[in-house]
Amino acid sequence: MGDRRSWSPARVAAPSLLLAASLLVGCSDGDDDGEAGYVVRQSSVGEIPGARLEFAGTVTALDDGCLMLDRGDGTMPWIVWPPGAAPGGGGGVVVDAETYLPGDPIRGTGTLAVLADLPGGAHDDTYFGRQGKRCDADSAGVAVLDSIAPAG
């Protein structure tokens, strides 16, 4: 009767896993858009124009994972991280081999901006606009960090 292969869980599971993995890959556009860990960064210092100032505050994670800078004055802008920043463990961010976690006090330099000031910030389908809208940066504002260091 021809080539009858025996049934095995591995023969059924392998194609199912491949299909599931393909579907998950399809959920990502393949670029590092900051959605994993909510880490959005400048590509170069000064990419986002504005008067530079010194920052101090505490990294704060909202319930939805957005990382904000609690400045201690009633404002809590969304953070755009310095170039080279990457998602770290525990919901933190790694910059120059230093990990910044929610609750960490920081200091740094950069500029304050509104979402529309960022390249493409007024559009939901751009690098800054997509994540900024998700993190309510159009009303919270944006702390664009050129540099960061632990406070203290």
- Tens digits of per-residue pLDDT, 34-70? 344 469 999 999 899 999 999 999 999 999 899 999 9
- Who's near 98: CB < 8 A, 6+ residues apart? 148, 149, 150
**Alpha helix locations (H) across the chain?**
9-26, 127-134, 137-140
Instruction: Write down all domains in the chain, each with its CATH number in brackets.
Output: 53-150 (2.40.50)
What are phi and psi for residue 52, nearest 5 degrees?
-85, 140
User: pLDDT tens, 100-136?
Assistant: 999 999 999 999 999 999 999 999 999 999 999 999 9
In angstroms, rounded to a whole number, what is the distance separating the alpha carbons of residues 112 and 51? 8
Q: Residue 138 and residue 27: Cα distance in Å, rounded?
A: 25
